[in-house]
């Protein structure tokens, strides 16, 4: 979790996560409204009378941009902590539907009983509606070195206690930046540094692994009749290798990596596993976020042994080992019902779309941004 903006090489510096350019402070960024009107950097409040100036500035809706015009985090110039989440995975793996599922459930208040709320940042709503409509998703546009990926920003608010605890709650605001990478970002190791400078600065690394990436599953589950899956186990592993080597090459000590990144394998399209004995069928039900449910961290921890065995049996040991090279710990999550085999149809009836919140929730938990998540049993 980063104090403000992308973490630069020196304290207090900000990096544009899209192009990698580093800035010394908010005064060095370009502040521009969504309609293109340029303005001053956020005014500092020293005296009472400065408050009105600041209110006017906020009302204008200036957004920070790097010198190349890439949108940067921190809409209100207040320097909320930044959580960066990146989804990696092959074409058609289910990244977009996972992100859409997360957004729908976050913004409709699924996590409010646990003290978390949020939605796509105001200026991102139009873009999000275009790229992630309720209709079948288009394949996400590939990023290139000339046109690197700009993340989608969310506003997230986290309370330090559960609403049921009665006592006064303090809330903190977090800027969430999500990179939906598209498979292209991982094509070559040389290209990846240019097209995806954000990789080493990612707090929550999500490898999206669909059935077609798991070689020992029955063929009709990897690829049900009538579907065309573009993923393959070797290609998935290759993509993961590129991301992992980029992380290991980056200028972090192993200790920094351990402290920083939450590494997740998100198994997608798990509704296909409904008849497989070794798949824990409990995970095909929505996660319980109700006030009397066990702490979410304990729920997730309790699922790991079975999921680990399932992934091994299904031929995914290499993927587990590779992901574990980042910092020794991988958390596996089962997501189903965010889409359907035939995208024109409704998702499978046996499905747990609210598990698309898992990467965000685990990321908040691991960074310590969500104190109430770990400690509290309601």
Ligand X SMILES: Nc1nc2c(ncn2[C@@H]2O[C@H](COP(=O)(O)OP(=O)(O)OP(=O)(O)O)[C@@H](O)[C@H]2O)c(=O)[nH]1
**Residue among 23 and 57 whose Cβ is closer to Zn ion:** 23
Nearer to ligand X, 197 or 347 (CB): 347
**Contact call for residues 155 and 128 (beta carbons, < 8 A):** no
Q: Does 139 bind ligand X (CB under 6 A)?
A: yes
Binding status of residue 93 toward ligand X by CB under 6 A: yes
239 or 373: whose CB is closer to ligand X?
Answer: 239
* Shortest CB 251 distance to Zn ion, Å: 19
Candidate residues 2, 18, 140, 186; the one interacting with Mg ion per rule CB under 5 A: 140
Minimum CB distance to ligand X, residue 297 (Å): 24
Binding positions for Zn ion, 3-32, rule CB under 5 A:
16, 18-19
Interface with ligand X includes 341 (CB under 6 A)?
A: yes
Q: Which residues contact 168 (CB under 8 A, 6 or more apart)?
A: none
Count of all residues that appear for the chain in the document: 378
Question: And the tokens for 160?
Answer: 């330090």
What residues from 49 to 88 belong to the interface with Zn ion (CB under 5 A)? 66, 68, 70
> Nearer Cβ to ligand X, position 66 or 266?
266
Find the binding residues for ligand X in span 311-330 (CB under 6 A): none
CA 232 to mean position of chain CA atoms: 23
Distance CA 267, CA 289 (A): 20
Task: Using alpha carbons, list the distances in angstroms from residue 204 to 178, 198, 261, 330.
Answer: 9, 11, 6, 11
Q: Which of 245, 209, 260 is nearest to 82 (CA)?
A: 260
339 contributes a contact to ligand X by CB under 6 A: yes
The DSSP string of 199-232 is GGG-SEEEEEE-GGG-TTS-HHHHS-TT------
Nearer to ligand X by Cβ, of 2 and 231: the residue is 231
Place of tokens 């209100």: 76
Q: Which does 18 bind (CB under 5 to 8 A by kind): ligand X, Zn ion, Mg ion, none?
A: Zn ion
What are the backbone dihedrals phi and psi of residue 57, each rounded to the nearest 5 degrees, phi first?
-60, -45
Kindly list the residues in this chain that would bind Zn ion in the complex (CB under 5 A): 16, 18-19, 66, 68, 70
Kindly list the residues in this chain that would bind ligand X in the complex (CB under 6 A): 89, 91-97, 137, 139-140, 182-183, 268-269, 271-272, 336-341, 343, 348
């Amino acid at each position: 979790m980063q104090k403000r903006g992308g973490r630069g090489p020196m304290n207090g510096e900000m990096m544009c996560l899209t192009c990698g350019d580093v800035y010394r402070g908010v005064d060095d960024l370009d502040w521009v409204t969504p309609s293109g009107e340029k303005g001053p950097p956020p005014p500092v409040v020293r005296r009472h009378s400065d408050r009105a100036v600041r209110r006017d500035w906020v009302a204008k809706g200036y957004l920070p941009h790097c010198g190349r015009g890439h949108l940067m985090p921190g809409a209100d110039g207040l320097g909320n902590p930044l959580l960066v989440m990146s989804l990696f995975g092959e074409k058609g793996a289910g990244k977009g539907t996972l992100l859409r599922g997360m957004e729908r459930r976050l913004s409709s208040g699924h996590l409010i009983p646990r003290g978390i709320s949020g939605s796509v940042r105001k200026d991102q709503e139009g873009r999000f509606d275009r790229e992630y409509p309720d209709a079948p998703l288009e394949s996400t546009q590939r990023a290139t070195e000339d046109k690197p990926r700009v993340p989608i920003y969310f506003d997230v608010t986290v309370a330090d206690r559960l609403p049921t605890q009665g006592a006064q709650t303090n809330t903190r605001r977090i800027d969430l930046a999500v990179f939906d990478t598209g498979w292209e970002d991982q094509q070559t190791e040389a290209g990846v540094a240019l097209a995806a400078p954000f990789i080493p600065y990612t707090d929550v690394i999500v490898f999206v692994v669909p059935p077609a990436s798991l070689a020992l599953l029955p063929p009709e589950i990897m690829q049900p009749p009538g579907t065309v899956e573009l993923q393959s186990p070797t290609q998935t592993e290759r993509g993961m290798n590129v991301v992992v080597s980029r992380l290991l090459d980056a200028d972090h000590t192993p200790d920094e990596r351990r402290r920083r990144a939450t590494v997740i394998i998100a198994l997608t399209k798990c509704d296909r596993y409904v008849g497989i004995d070794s798949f824990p069928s409990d995970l095909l039900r929505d996660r319980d976020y109700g006030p009397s449910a066990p702490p979410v961290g304990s729920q997730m921890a309790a699922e790991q042994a079975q999921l680990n065995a399932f992934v091994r049996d299904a031929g995914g040991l290499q993927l587990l080992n590779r992901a574990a090279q980042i910092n020794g710990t991988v958390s596996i999550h089962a997501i189903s019902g965010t889409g359907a085999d035939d995208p024109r149809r409704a998702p499978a009836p046996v499905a747990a779309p609210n598990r698309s919140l898992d990467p965000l929730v685990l990321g908040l938990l691991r960074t310590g941004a969500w104190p109430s998540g770990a400690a509290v049993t309601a």
